[in-house]
Structures are given as structure tokens and as C-alpha cells.
A and B are shown apart, each in its own frame.
Chain A
Amino acid sequence: MSSITLTPDIAPAVMPKSHYANVRTTVMSWLFTVDHKRIAILYLISITVFFAVGGLFASLIRIELLTPKGDFMTGDTYNKVFTLHGVIMIFFFLIPSVPATLGNFALPIMIGAKDLAFPKINLLSWWLYMLGGVLAVVVLLRGGLETGWTFYPPYSTTFATSQVTIAILAAFLAGFSSIFTGLNFIVTVHKMRAPGMTWFRMPLFVWAHYATSIIQILGTPVVAITLVLVAIERVWGVGIFNPQIGGDPILFQHLFWFYSHPAVYVMILPGMGVVSEVIPCFSRKRIFGYEFIAFSSMAIAIIGFLVWGHHLYVSTQSTYAGMVFSLLTFLVAVPSAIKVFNWTATMYKGEITFEAPMIYALGFIGLFLVGGLTGLVLASMANDIHFHDTYFVVAHFHYVMVGGMVMAYMCGLHFWWPKMTGRMYPGLLATIAAILVFVGFNFTFFPQFILGFLGMPRRYHSYVEEFQILNIMSTMGASVLGLGYGMQPFYLLWSLFKGEPAGDNPWRAKGLEWQVPSPPPTFNFPDGRPVVIEDPYAYTIDVKEADSVAQH
């Protein structure tokens, strides 16, 4: 039995004749599909476009910061550029990135379901996302937005002259798209698991998405109503946060961060799920501490709701409240650390190979570690007085979001690409891109830690001359990073047409999604509903030992 699974297929893999992507080929059959796999592809295309737009704004920022003087654009334009970079990357790339694409594609198959529980709501979620996206483009074309992605009043309500209301509507719609994805995932996980797929046989990717979904459902509506209040204040000139009539702008900050801090866990937990799948596969070892990783996802989701006040240390929040928030923030680092320890322990004495997904996963662990630990520096109240609103915060955030989530997203994309398309991409090119991304990333953002430490404030288009050399380093790193990202569309698209057929299981991975054809048929399981008899990480490391077991 085991010798069969361990021997690679000698016969070349062939593409299945009929699969989810080619059963129907009209544009309408894609735009109004209810198949979770097709919706995942729709999301994949849309978020890639927004990632490119957000990346374009990032390059404009880096070009401006090459010189100490604001000579490439005016201060106003610079405000708009970094705001649009933030709004697009957060609401239209990071939040839907892994859940709406990879999660949408893989989660139902992973638990043995034919689809998500509510296929039409899934489609609605993509349409809401697109509507929001179109509005974001409208904002862009009508002169942009300069409030920062945080929409702080009274600036956003009283003083900003740009498209705040439309931008708020865009974020609102994207928010509800996210809520519906979360709702679908939770019901699917509860009600759609195949026989034998017990809670503790679920892949950790599914656990991570379950935890994420809780945040999406309980957090997102709060920011939705908060942004509605800002829009009302802006349109009718009166409102809840207007200090002129006794309103409290700090209340906005509380309500905003009540969602927006948990939202960073929406942006990282699914990535942790991806890494939990990839590490055991490319180490050929059972995941270490399964239950700990599963429960740490839940712990992050729950404790994550109680830490928002660490964004308000210098906003006149009570020092005692700050102390509690600081303590809780340190607490949320514990489950994150548990995950890192478990991934490391999984690799210990494993048979590690360095395919592209594994390089991204290893990059994730290193960069997330730096991002996480510098988070603790910021969580200490006394430090934060110095670091608040400096490049230290920018670097910390990007280490977690880009070094963490974007790496994890690309890790998952390269891991499941053969499953989604049925084709292999050129391994060498993918490996080179992964290394470029890792190196470029560090060159971009590590100097920003130093800049922040030295006191360079964020959100200014000019700076003192002493900071120039580090900024040049950062911009050069960003070019390498951009090259790494830029390579991917080319070889991935190439693989769609010319790539080797991948076969059902090119990585010899465990888990239900690898037991169905690549690409899967419309209802996922051609042989009917699967019955699950083993856990998703039943990897065996030593070929000889496994063979000797087979001989007995």
C-alpha cells in the first residue's frame, strides 16, 4: 500500500478532458457561476489587478522618497498616493487574498464538500467586492483620497477635499463581501464535512479560515457602521464625531480599531494556514503539535478582539487602559509564537526539499518572526511614544503584511497552482522569483526600521538629508521586490498553455484536495462523497522504513 503512494507516477500525467474550468466557456458562465472554484478564479484575477495597482502606488512612494526634497510630487499628491496604496492593498488585496482565492478554492474540497454551503452568497460576495473595486477606481479617477486608509475624523469629515464618501462606500461594500465569505466558511465547516472528517482531522488551513471567519463576521460590521457615520457626518455636515458639537474623534478611533486591529489577523491567519499545509508536505513529516496550532488560531482570533487600544497610546487614552491593552497585546504574541515553534519542530529531522512553495514558507517564518517581535516593541507603551507614527511602524506592519501575508499568499498560490490549473510552472523561475522577493523585501523594509528608530516620521514626502542613504537602499530593494513579483504573471500564464500536466498530486501531498483530479471536476469528487479515514498530515519520512513496513 505505502509503496504505491511513494513511487512517483512513471506514466506522464495527462490533463482531464473535462474539468470545472472548461465545462462551460462563455463569459456569462464565469461571471454568474456558483462553483466555488470558478469564483476563486474570479477573485484571483481581480485581486491580482488590485495588487498591481496598489504596487504601482508603492513604487510612486519609493520614487518620491529617493531624495530628501519633495521634488517628484507635491505634498497633496503624496498624501493621495500613500492613501490609495493603503486602501487598495488592505481592502482590495490583503483581506480577500488568501480566503477568497485559495480558501474559496481549496476549503470545500479539503473537508470533502461539493461546494460552499451558500454558492449564491459566494457569488454575491464577489460581486460586492467588484462593485467596491469599481468605486475605488472611481475615487482614483475623480481625484483620489488623502485621508490615509484610516479615515480619521475630523480630517476625513471636515477638512478633506477629496472623494471620502465614495471611498467609504467602496470599503463598506468590500467589507460586506468579506462578511459573506466568512459566513459561508463557518457554515460550510460546521455542516458540510464528509463522513470521517472530524474537527481534529481538518487541515490546519481550514482551522485558520474558521478563526478568520469569526473575526470577519464579528468585526467587519463595526467598521462598516463607523464608516457610515463618517459618511453621514460628511454629507450632512453633522455627526457623531464632530468636536464642534461635543462629538469625540477618539470614539471613532476606538470603533475603527475595534475592527481594524482584528482585521490584521484576518490578513495573517489564513497565511498561517497556508504555511501549516506547506511545511509538513515539503518536510515529509506529520505536523508537530496539531492541536496547538489549531487552538492558537482560535486564541489569536479571540484575544485579537481585545487589543485595539494599543493604537491609541498617544491619543489621550487612559494610561491604565493602555496598560491593560499592552498586556493583552503581549498575550496575543503567545499563540503566534506557538505556531512558529511548531512549524520549526515539524521541520526538525524532516526530509526538507526546496521547491518554490517551501522557499516562500521559510521566508514567511523568518519575516513573520521579525514582524511579530517588533510588534512587541511597539506594544510597550513607553517605546511607542518614541516609535508612534515613525517608519518603525511602517516597517513592522509591512514585515507582517508583506513579509507575512503576501509571502504566504504566494506560497499557497504556488502550492495549489497545479491543482487549480492542472499544469506545473517552471520550477527554477519560480524559485528565482521567490528568492528575489525575499531578498528585495528585506532590503526594502529593514532600512525602514532604522529610519523609524532614528525618528523619521511616516506620511511625509520630504525628510532631512541624513536619512537619504537608507531611503535609497529601501527604494533599490523595492525594485528587486518588484522584479520578483513581476516575474510571476509571466511564468504562471506561460504554464497555463505550455506547462507540463501536473497530475493529481505533484507534491505527494496528503489531504483530500490532492486525491481528486487536477483540475477538479465541477462537483469536486468524481467518485462520490469521500469517507475520511486518516488525518491530513499522515506523511512518512523514511522510504526504506516505509518499504519494510509494506513487506510485513
Chain B
Amino acid sequence: MSHSTDSVVAHHFEDYEQQTESAMLGMWLFLAQEIMFFGGLFAAYMVYRMKYPDAWATGSEQLDIVLGGFNTVVLLLSSVTMASSVWCAQKGKNKQLIWGLIATLVLGFVFLFVKYFEYKSKFEHHLVPGTHFFFDAAHATGPVIGSPTQGQLQLFFCLYFIMTGMHALHMIIGAGILIWLIVLAMRGYFHPQRYMKIELFGFYWHFVDIVWVFLFPLLYLLHRHG
């Protein structure tokens, strides 16, 4: 089956090339916006880390490096499956495309599942900020560095939950879009002249992965040297 590009060009574009270039530039700008959105959080993180290095080191030690590391691998793998999905869409390999997208979705869910258990354990250790927050040095899951106050530690966990929570929210939105793309792919919507949605979603998914690539060392690896 052959497809002409004319049928997929929206009314206000002159040609297919203009349409795809516009879509990609639009996505890059959206990601620039996303960088600034997370940037505010990273700025807050930096300020407090410089102010309260002990609390940051101690807080970081309480995080589960195995689960965090495992999740990092999971997300990087999902980037691989996403990249290959884009390639399949370009080449018109619809069956492989569907499987690639499903694999990406499954890996995304694995990440969120693991994250759930991490949050749960923090909850059980009273490390969720709020009236019940209490860092029990005697029964802590990791060593205590210096003498951070309860308040400072609470600040660390505030940022931990908000940053990873904002990231997880992006994953959940991504998963929703992925399900929609999978349905579209199963209906045979995509072909080599009509795969922009996959390409653009790929940008988004890789971006969310990259955010995690920064979050992981900043939150989990702060004091894991020597």
C-alpha cells in the first residue's frame, strides 16, 4: 500500500516538510519549557544543598540505592525500546512498532511500581514530610553524617518527594499517551509518511528519562563515595 504525503498535510501547511519541521520545533520548545519547569526545582535543590550539606548527605544515605539503580536501568532500557519504536515507525514495520511501544509502556510501569515501594518504605520510616515526620537516627536505614536537624532533613525529603513526584507525574502522563499511541498503531494509523506522533512522543520520553538521569545521582549518590 502506498501513501501520498498530501493526505496527511494539515490545511494551513504548504507541504509535508513544513509540517514535520514545525512539529519538531514545537516539541523542542515545549521541552525547553520543561527544562525551565524542572529548573526551578533544581535551583531550590542547589541552594539548600549548599546551605545544609549534612542533611543532604544523610538524607541521600537513607534512599535505596539498589531500587534507584534498578529503576535507572529500567528507564534507560525503555529509552532503547522507544528509540527502536521510532525507527520501526519510520520503516513502516508496524508489528515491531506495536511491540516496541508495549515494551516501553511495560518498562514505564515497572519503574512506577518500584517507585511505589520506595515511597511506601519512606512512609513507614516516617520520612514523609508533614506532622508525622521524624528521622529516627537509631533505626535509620543509612548512616547519619554530621548533625542535621529534623527540619533540614525534612527539607531534603520535601525536595526528594516533589522532584521524583513531578518526574513520576510526567511518566504517568507519558504512559497515558503511550496507550493512545498503541491503540492508534494497532488500528494501522502509522506509516512512513505519518509517524510524527511517535517521533514527537520519543522526544518527550527521552526527556523524562534524562530528568531521571540527573535526579538519580543528585538524590541517591550524594555521599556514596570512598
Binding site for B on A (CB under 8 A): 113-119, 121, 179, 183-184, 186-188, 190-192, 217-222, 224-226, 229, 232, 236-240, 244-248, 251, 254-255, 523, 529
Distance of A136 Cα from B168 Cα, bound (Å): 29
Q: Give the contacts of B118-155 with A (CB-CB under 8 A).
A: 129-131, 133, 149-152, 154-155
- Between B13, B21, B41, B44, the greatest number of chain A beta carbons within 10 A of the residue's beta carbon is seen for B44
* Cross-chain contact A222 with B47 (CB below 8 angstroms): no
* Cross-chain contact A187 with B25 (CB below 8 angstroms): yes
* Cross-chain contact A240 with B44 (CB below 8 angstroms): yes
* Cross-chain contact A255 with B155 (CB below 8 angstroms): no
The contact of B37 among A221, A240, A248, by CB within 8 Å, is A221
Given contacts A191-B21, A240-B158, contact A221 B44 (CB under 8 A): no
Distance of A229 Cα from B162 Cα, bound (Å): 8
B40 beta carbon closer than 8 Å to chain A: yes
The contact of B26 among A117, A236, A245, by CB within 8 Å, is A117
Report the minimal beta-carbon distance from B62 to chain A, rounded to whole angstroms. Answer: 17
Provide the residues of chain A in CB contact with B5, threshold 8 Å: none
Given contacts A240-B158, A246-B152, contact A218 B12 (CB under 8 A): no
Distance of A337 Cα from B30 Cα, bound (Å): 33
Q: Could you write out 23 A-B pairs with CB less than 8 Å apart?
A: A114-B12, A115-B11, A117-B22, A119-B12, A187-B22, A187-B25, A188-B22, A217-B32, A217-B36, A218-B32, A220-B36, A221-B36, A225-B38, A225-B40, A238-B133, A238-B158, A240-B158, A245-B154, A246-B48, A246-B55, A247-B48, A247-B155, A523-B11
Provide the residues of chain B in CB contact with A248, threshold 8 Å: 47-48, 51
* Cross-chain contact B26 with A187 (CB below 8 angstroms): yes
Provide the residues of chain A in CB contact with B34, threshold 8 Å: 221
Distance of A237 Cα from B129 Cα, bound (Å): 9
| Closest chain B residue, CB of each to CB of A176 | B33
Provide the residues of chain B in CB contact with A255, threshold 8 Å: 40, 43-44
Provide the residues of chain B in CB contact with A232, threshold 8 Å: 162
* Cross-chain contact A246 with B155 (CB below 8 angstroms): yes
* Binary A-proximity of B100-133 (CB < 8 A = 1, otherwise 0): 0000000000000000000000000000011101
* Cross-chain contact A222 with B36 (CB below 8 angstroms): yes
Binding site for A on B (CB under 8 A): 11-14, 18, 21-22, 25-26, 29-30, 32-34, 36-41, 43-44, 47-48, 51-52, 55, 129-131, 133, 149-152, 154-155, 158-159, 162, 166
Provide the residues of chain A in CB contact with B131, threshold 8 Å: 237
Given contacts A218-B32, A225-B41, contact A251 B130 (CB under 8 A): no
| Closest chain A residue, CB of each to CB of B154 | A245
Report the minimal beta-carbon distance from B135 to chain A, rounded to whole angstroms. Answer: 12
Provide the residues of chain B in CB contact with A188, threshold 8 Å: 22
| Closest chain B residue, CB of each to CB of A115 | B12
* Cross-chain contact B18 with A221 (CB below 8 angstroms): no
Task: Knowing that A220-B36, A225-B41 touch, tell me 16 more A-B residue pairs with CB under 8 angstroms.
Answer: A113-B12, A114-B11, A117-B22, A118-B26, A191-B22, A217-B29, A218-B32, A221-B34, A225-B37, A225-B38, A229-B44, A240-B48, A240-B158, A245-B152, A246-B48, A246-B51
Provide the residues of chain B in CB contact with A184, threshold 8 Å: 26
Given contacts A218-B32, A246-B51, contact A236 B151 (CB under 8 A): no
The contact of B158 among A191, A239, A244, A523, by CB within 8 Å, is A239
Provide the residues of chain A in CB contact with B159, threshold 8 Å: 240
Distance of A330 Cα from B53 Cα, bound (Å): 37
| Closest chain A residue, CB of each to CB of B129 | A238
| Closest chain B residue, CB of each to CB of A522 | B11
| Closest chain B residue, CB of each to CB of A226 | B40
Provide the residues of chain A in CB contact with B30, threshold 8 Å: 183
Distance of A220 Cα from B35 Cα, bound (Å): 12
The contact of A222 among B39, B130, B152, B154, by CB within 8 Å, is B39
Report the minimal beta-carbon distance from B1 to chain A, rounded to whole angstroms. Answer: 28
Report the minimal beta-carbon distance from A35 to chain B, rounded to whole angstroms. Answer: 10
Distance of A537 Cα from B210 Cα, bound (Å): 46
Report the minimal beta-carbon distance from B223 to chain A, rounded to whole angstroms. Answer: 19
Report the minimal beta-carbon distance from B218 to chain A, rounded to whole angstroms. Answer: 16
Distance of A121 Cα from B200 Cα, bound (Å): 15
* Cross-chain contact A192 with B129 (CB below 8 angstroms): no
Provide the residues of chain B in CB contact with A251, threshold 8 Å: 44, 47
Report the minimal beta-carbon distance from A395 to chain B, rounded to whole angstroms. Answer: 31
* Cross-chain contact B36 with A219 (CB below 8 angstroms): yes
Distance of A222 Cα from B36 Cα, bound (Å): 6
Distance of A248 Cα from B41 Cα, bound (Å): 14
Distance of A238 Cα from B44 Cα, bound (Å): 15
Distance of A523 Cα from B14 Cα, bound (Å): 12
Provide the residues of chain B in CB contact with A240, threshold 8 Å: 44, 48, 155, 158-159, 162
Distance of A119 Cα from B12 Cα, bound (Å): 9
Provide the residues of chain B in CB contact with A117, threshold 8 Å: 12, 22, 26
Distance of A144 Cα from B137 Cα, bound (Å): 44
- Between B18, B36, B38, the greatest number of chain A beta carbons within 10 A of the residue's beta carbon is seen for B36
Provide the residues of chain B in CB contact with A529, threshold 8 Å: 14
Provide the residues of chain B in CB contact with A191, threshold 8 Å: 18, 21-22, 25
| Closest chain B residue, CB of each to CB of A241 | B44
| Closest chain B residue, CB of each to CB of A114 | B12
Distance of A523 Cα from B10 Cα, bound (Å): 12
Provide the residues of chain B in CB contact with A238, threshold 8 Å: 129-130, 133, 154, 158
Distance of A183 Cα from B29 Cα, bound (Å): 6
Distance of A179 Cα from B26 Cα, bound (Å): 11
Nearest 6 CB-CB pairs, A to B?
A245-B151, A221-B37, A115-B12, A225-B40, A238-B129, A114-B12
Provide the residues of chain B in CB contact with A218, threshold 8 Å: 32-33, 36
| Closest chain A residue, CB of each to CB of B47 | A251
Provide the residues of chain A in CB contact with B29, threshold 8 Å: 183, 186-187, 217
Distance of A129 Cα from B167 Cα, bound (Å): 25
Report the minimal beta-carbon distance from B155 to chain A, rounded to whole angstroms. Answer: 6
Provide the residues of chain A in CB contact with B21, threshold 8 Å: 191
The contact of A179 among B11, B33, B152, B162, by CB within 8 Å, is B33
* Cross-chain contact B26 with A183 (CB below 8 angstroms): yes
| Closest chain B residue, CB of each to CB of A186 | B29
* Cross-chain contact B130 with A237 (CB below 8 angstroms): yes
Provide the residues of chain B in CB contact with A222, threshold 8 Å: 36-37, 39-40
